[in-house]
Copies of this chain bind each other. A is one copy, B any other.
């Protein structure tokens, strides 16, 4: 469940934002001051924070700066949602460490899209380590290793490409000539089917050795 913290001293704005985001199936927490935000953040770190700038006591810019100095909150995406709309304001907000800046009054559709873009970006990087899982096999493209249950096996790069292709096309009958094109990038009708067999054999040997350990 994606969790969003919204901080604004205007109860009406806060309610609107809360309603819209809940409709999007986000889990929303609403607070009306920087102090409350801080005490919430001590307990848990949301996936994204919406922040007003003009607030009594501590303003949004100050809060944002403060958070960015704390290593726990460095990855937290922050989106300013504020009536201050001059170029200087925008630049100031972004320079304080925010990730996006939306001016009130805002179009709900745009706010939704910008929130989605920020969240997407967050998950995009994590997903990027390209692990592919299928039954007991877990394939990691960074380390070039296969984990079978939890035992790791070292693969060569061709074996890795082949296994990855097979795992990406499970339950499919793949002819040698198809694999030569897909994995080895040979032109059609070139390449030796023996090549595929040799590698399939080596793969099997390594994987089977892993299983009964």
Interface, chain A (partner B; CB < 8 A): 71, 74-75, 77, 87-88, 90-91, 94-95, 97-100, 107, 109-110, 112-114, 116-117, 120-121, 124-125, 127-128, 130, 142-144, 171-173
Contacts and interface: CB of A to CB of B under 8 A. Distances in A.
A113 B116 CA distance: 21
Contact of A94 (B74, B117, B124, B125): B117
A-B interface, 7 closest residue pairs, ranked by CB to CB distance from nearest: A94-B113, A91-B113, A87-B107, A144-B173, A142-B172, A94-B117, A91-B109
Task: Name the prevailing secondary structure of the A interface residues.
Answer: helix
Contacts of A74: 124-125, 127-128
Nearest to A120: B97
Contacts of A120: 97
B144 A117 contact: no
B87 A130 contact: no
B95 A116 contact: yes
A95 B77 CA distance: 18
A201 to B, nearest CB: 22
Contacts of A77: 121
- Residue in A97, A98, A100 with the greatest tally of chain B CB atoms within 10 Å: A100
A11 to B, nearest CB: 25
A160 to B, nearest CB: 9
Contacts of A124: 74-75
A109 B90 CA distance: 9
